[in-house]
Structure 1
Amino acid sequence: MKVIKVSVVIPVYNAKDYLQDCIKSLLSQTLVDCEFIFVNDGSTDNSLEIIQKYQEEDNRIKLISQENKGIAEARNAGIEIASGEYIGFLDNDDFVKIDFFENLYKNAIENNLDILVSKTILGRDGKYIIKDHGFNTNLIFTKDVIQEQIISNLLKVEDLFAVWNKIYKRTFIFENDIRFPGNRVIEEDNIFNIQAFNNAEKVRFIDYAGYYYRDVADSKSRKTIENDYFSKALEKYYLDYKKEYSLNISYEELEKLKAIRFVQRVFYLVYKCSVLKIPFKIKWNYIKNMVFHEKVYELSKKYDEEILQGKGLYERIVLKIINKKTSFLLILLILSIQIGYHPSISETIRKVNKLTKKR
């Protein structure tokens, strides 16, 4: 019997405009011994027909069709039928280099890894840039180092959230009953990865980028106000990760890491809301309620130095507005971002902000 080396799970929901690029990149993989598990999550466009068309041409495509349950449940459905030595994930509007899964699989199998992490090619403002994972690529992380460095990273920042630039040993996933939380609208990736890394014995980061993440304008991640991302960030701050996932971390350290991430999330949401093409009154009311929320103020005062560590001018301005509770400055900031934002100069603005970082 043919051994499946990698099972790739692809949740699909109304992706007709991008799905063919995704499928073609999979069928062109240099690692032939793969299976591609498409989970049609109640699409109302012709996504299902597109998958079926390609399935007739290549029997490596497996298809699950279900009522709309969300991306977490769609991925879980794919995991349940996966038979590969390793499991990978691909979003339906993204695509990969032809050697992506071969590179990841060879490294993972040679080192008997539970998890392997690659870099990402990030589509942003009409251009692609390589996003570093920020970890040493010359060593294998074992249990103690994972607990010390990676778990804290997952709690503090968002660099390792994604599941699609990684592959996971299938037996490891099943033995530790690691699944996506079905009750979350966003950031289900992070919960999955906290469980995975918390149980992992061997992890490696590689100096290779082959996953093209496409920042699609109509994706759920763009519906910042509609999905009320601030409330979800607040919910995550109050989540007891230590109890929920048996993390080996003190509550004092846990609170600090969650606070840093929560306030830095506010920095991000202020920018994302400011550039939305919606009436100013709507964005102003949302941003104002977020920035001047009592918990944001409390944590900004308590952890101001830790929050600003490695951050630039923009973050320092937002923190000052939070701590001084100055509505006038906040209005000026929103207007400055709204007027000054343009995709062609956004990367330049990010670089300038990095140059102003405090060391």
Structure 2
Amino acid sequence: MRNKVSVIIPVYNAEKYLEECILSLLNQTLHACEFIFVNDGSSDNSRFLIERYKKKDGRIKLINQENQGVSAARNAGLRVASGEYVGFVDADDYVKRDMYQTLYAAAERHGCDVVISNFESELEGSKVITSYSFPSDELLDRDYIVQTIMPYLLKTDDLNAVWNKIYRTDMLVEHQIVFPVSMALGEDGMFNMLLYGYASTMIYVKYTGYHYREVEGSATRNIKDKDYFGKAIEVYRLSPPPIYTEMLQSVSVHQLKSTRLIKSLVSYIYVYFKPSKDMSFMKRYSYVRKMISSSQVREALPLYWDEMQGSLGRYERFVISMVKARSTIGLYCAVTYSRLRNS
């Protein structure tokens, strides 16, 4: 009998949280799953931990490869996935017992290509649930995907993740949808763009089963070594898949990408003006000054303002005014005030 869900877990030096991840998968109420762990050249005890649980439960598969990055690891898992649907989990995260039962039940009920759910993030002890305004428990057709989801992916980042979704495997195979191996950040977003370019139907379930843990040294926390803004510029410059230009007007695509860039800029300003032991204040200050002076930001600002001015609060309006004025000190004062106010 075919597995209902194949769950792919890329693993690189994740032994600190890996056991919790493994147990959360083995305890799923949906038993007809396979769990494909791709050990991407770990130098810690991750491989041995997976092998120990593999001996206890035949649903675990293990692929060992030299370190090639998360995209190559996920693609290796996709090549052997046998389930009707595919899901993804990061090795330092965990899922609720009914995660895949809930998502698969929605997929089976409606026969859709994609199921989206909420997720919970944990950062420095605080937990936040990311949810969406899409109609819930309702089959959303191709028109909705083209008119709402595809622009949404261009405009914002919060739908990028692959681990709060399941995807119909046959659709991935038919359209040869894989993760881009040349991107250091943003590979999830490009995967979803490719997928929604072809998806016919989707479901959004208002359910929170995925727990995302942002750990020290992760791609989204390591400000010393990760050039966040440089990656945001790469995404801004990157042309979306050809099917996007067929479905959406080029002017609309540019405006949506501009909105995304400035949203990213605002979040990075907050990150870089937060006290950090990894980078001196002057280096962080200089980085922010470089960001707000970039030609891409100057180009995107008017389009962002046209799109977003009616929905911005006082804080956001002030930050944008400081970006327009290229006032780094004004931005530092705004972030400091916001952090003190929320502490």
Structure 1 SS opposite 2:42: coil
1:228-282 CA distances to partner (integer Å, 9 max, x unpaired)? 1111111111112153765511110000000000011000111111123321111
**Would the aligned equivalents of 1:117 and 1:165 in 2 still touch at CA under 8 Å?**
yes
Q: Structure 1 residues 245 and 306, CA, compared in 2 at 3 Å: closer, same or farther?
A: closer
Structure 1 SS opposite 2:9: strand
**Would the aligned equivalents of 1:15 and 1:92 in 2 still touch at CA under 8 Å?**
yes
Structure 1 SS opposite 2:15: coil
Partner of 1:48: 47
Q: Do structure 1's residue 254 and structure 2's residue 253 form an aligned pair?
A: yes
Partner of 2:34: 35
Partner of 1:94: 93
**Would the aligned equivalents of 2:197 and 2:243 in 1 still touch at CA under 8 Å?**
no
* 1:225-240 equivalence runs, <5 A: 225-240=224-239
**Would the aligned equivalents of 2:273 and 2:332 in 1 still touch at CA under 8 Å?**
no
Q: What is the aligned length? A: 341
Shift of 1:335: 5.0
1:284-338 CA distances to partner (integer Å, 9 max, x unpaired)? 111110012122123213431424443333322221111112243134345556x
Partner of 1:79: 78
- Paired with 1:110 and 1:90, the residues of 2 have a C-alpha distance of 23
2:28 maps to amino acid: Q
**Would the aligned equivalents of 1:195 and 1:245 in 2 still touch at CA under 8 Å?**
no
Partner of 1:272: 271
**Would the aligned equivalents of 2:194 and 2:241 in 1 still touch at CA under 8 Å?**
no
TM-score under structure 1 normalisation? 0.90
- Paired with 1:307 and 1:297, the residues of 2 have a C-alpha distance of 16
Q: Do structure 1's residue 329 and structure 2's residue 330 form an aligned pair?
A: yes
**Would the aligned equivalents of 1:225 and 1:286 in 2 still touch at CA under 8 Å?**
no
- Paired with 2:34 and 2:107, the residues of 1 have a C-alpha distance of 17
Partner of 2:157: 158
**Would the aligned equivalents of 1:224 and 1:269 in 2 still touch at CA under 8 Å?**
no
Q: Structure 1 residues 328 and 221, CA, compared in 2 at 3 Å: closer, same or farther?
A: closer
Partner of 1:213: 212
Structure 1 SS opposite 2:255: helix
Choose 55-64 or 274-283, whichever is displaced more.
Answer: 274-283
Q: Structure 1 residues 205 and 331, CA, compared in 2 at 3 Å: closer, same or farther?
A: closer
* 1:104-123 equivalence runs, <5 A: 104-123=103-122
Structure 1 SS opposite 2:197: helix
Choose 235-244 or 31-40, whichever is displaced more.
Answer: 235-244
- Paired with 1:75 and 1:67, the residues of 2 have a C-alpha distance of 13
Partner of 1:203: 202
Partner of 2:312: 311
Q: Structure 1 residues 331 and 123, CA, compared in 2 at 3 Å: closer, same or farther?
A: closer
**Would the aligned equivalents of 1:5 and 1:105 in 2 still touch at CA under 8 Å?**
yes
- Paired with 2:42 and 2:106, the residues of 1 have a C-alpha distance of 35
Task: Give the RMSD, CA atoms, in angstroms.
Answer: 1.7
- Paired with 1:124 and 1:322, the residues of 2 have a C-alpha distance of 27
Partner of 2:176: 177
**Would the aligned equivalents of 2:193 and 2:241 in 1 still touch at CA under 8 Å?**
no
Shift of 1:126: 0.8
Partner of 2:139: 140
**Would the aligned equivalents of 1:22 and 1:93 in 2 still touch at CA under 8 Å?**
yes
Shift of 1:137: 0.2
Q: Structure 1 residues 246 and 50, CA, compared in 2 at 3 Å: closer, same or farther?
A: farther
Choose 33-42 or 306-315, whichever is displaced more.
Answer: 306-315
**Would the aligned equivalents of 2:262 and 2:304 in 1 still touch at CA under 8 Å?**
no
Partner of 1:14: 13
1:236 maps to amino acid: V
- Paired with 1:145 and 1:244, the residues of 2 have a C-alpha distance of 15
Structure 2 SS opposite 1:177: coil
Structure 1 SS opposite 2:101: helix
Structure 2 SS opposite 1:11: strand
